[in-house]
């Protein structure tokens, strides 16, 4: 059973990777969805109010992010999810720009080392694209695995943030670099953002149950913590 989002306002935001739909509650930014993203609501029941404080703050954050990908989003957040989903999304916010993590590492951080697949499912439901950086999570063998907003967007975001360069020399970083190089050379079909986004890819496909690869250590975030209120979204 799904619970309707209690949004106060929404707006459309142009980005280098295509339009984003932003939605905000009284508590913070609740959604940042690409067009045709998997698991998104196609229609939001909220007025168009780009001047809403949380939407205006998010727009400024995105502007700064595209200029400087290491920028930390400071807008207050209010994603709606189960307690487990919120815990996963909170950990994603600790992965620094330019760094990579894996499904297994996040499962270990949660104290659930065999829950990599459940972590992948929660990541696939992340409602805050880029803001909660699920694109920084890859398979333990370096495979990109998928992205709800379209695999080409994940590849481009990792390239923009320098994650591949930073990861070279580690097994996961080298594998990610190879995967992106193969795609860019045409070895993987469906390079266009529109084509792949329309296929609604999901996270976690084929993710192993545990993982021990090292990544760049993530520092605790100073951003506003998620609301502890949980609602069922899946």
pLDDT confidence band for 182 (50 / 70 / 90): low
Alpha-carbon distances of 173 from 60, 130, 164, 182, 222, rounded to whole Å: 31, 20, 6, 14, 26
Which residues are marked as active site?
134
pLDDT at 178: 55
Alpha-carbon distances of 103 from 31, 38, 176, 206, rounded to whole Å: 22, 19, 14, 11
Does residue 26 have a pLDDT over 60?
A: yes
pLDDT at 115: 95
Q: Which of 153, 168, 197, 176 is nearest to 102 (CA)?
A: 176
3-state secondary structure of 49: coil
pLDDT confidence band for 161 (50 / 70 / 90): very high
C-alpha–C-alpha distance, residues 157 and 116, integer Å: 23
Q: Is 5:80 a contact under the CB 8 Å cutoff?
A: yes
pLDDT at 140: 86
Alpha-carbon distances of 47 from 51, 67, 96, 110, rounded to whole Å: 11, 29, 33, 37
| Mean pLDDT within 70-78 | 97
């Amino acid at each position: 059973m799904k619970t309707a989002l209690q949004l106060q306002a929404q707006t459309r935001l142009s980005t280098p990777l295509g339009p984003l739909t932003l939605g905000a509650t009284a508590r913070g930014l609740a959604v940042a969805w690409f067009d045709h993203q998997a698991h998104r609501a196609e229609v939001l029941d909220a007025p168009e109010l780009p001047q809403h404080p949380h939407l205006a703050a998010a727009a400024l954050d995105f502007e700064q992010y595209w200029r400087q990908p290491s920028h930390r989003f400071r807008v207050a957040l209010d994603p709606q999810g189960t307690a487990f989903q919120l815990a996963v999304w909170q950990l994603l916010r600790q992965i620094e720009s330019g760094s990579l993590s894996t499904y297994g590492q996040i499962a270990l951080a949660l104290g659930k080392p065999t829950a990599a697949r459940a972590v992948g499912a929660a990541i696939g439901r992340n409602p805050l694209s880029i803001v909660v950086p699920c694109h920084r999570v890859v398979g333990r063998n370096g495979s990109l695995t998928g992205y709800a907003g379209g695999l080409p967007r994940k590849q481009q975001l990792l390239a923009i943030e320098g994650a591949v360069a930073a990861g070279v020399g580690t097994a996961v970083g080298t594998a990610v670099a190879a995967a992106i190089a193969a795609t860019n050379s045409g070895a993987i079909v469906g390079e266009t953002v529109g084509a792949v986004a329309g296929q609604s890819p999901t996270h976690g496909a084929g993710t192993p149950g545990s993982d021990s690869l090292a990544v760049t250590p993530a520092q605790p975030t100073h951003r506003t913590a998620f609301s502890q209120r949980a609602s069922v979204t899946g």
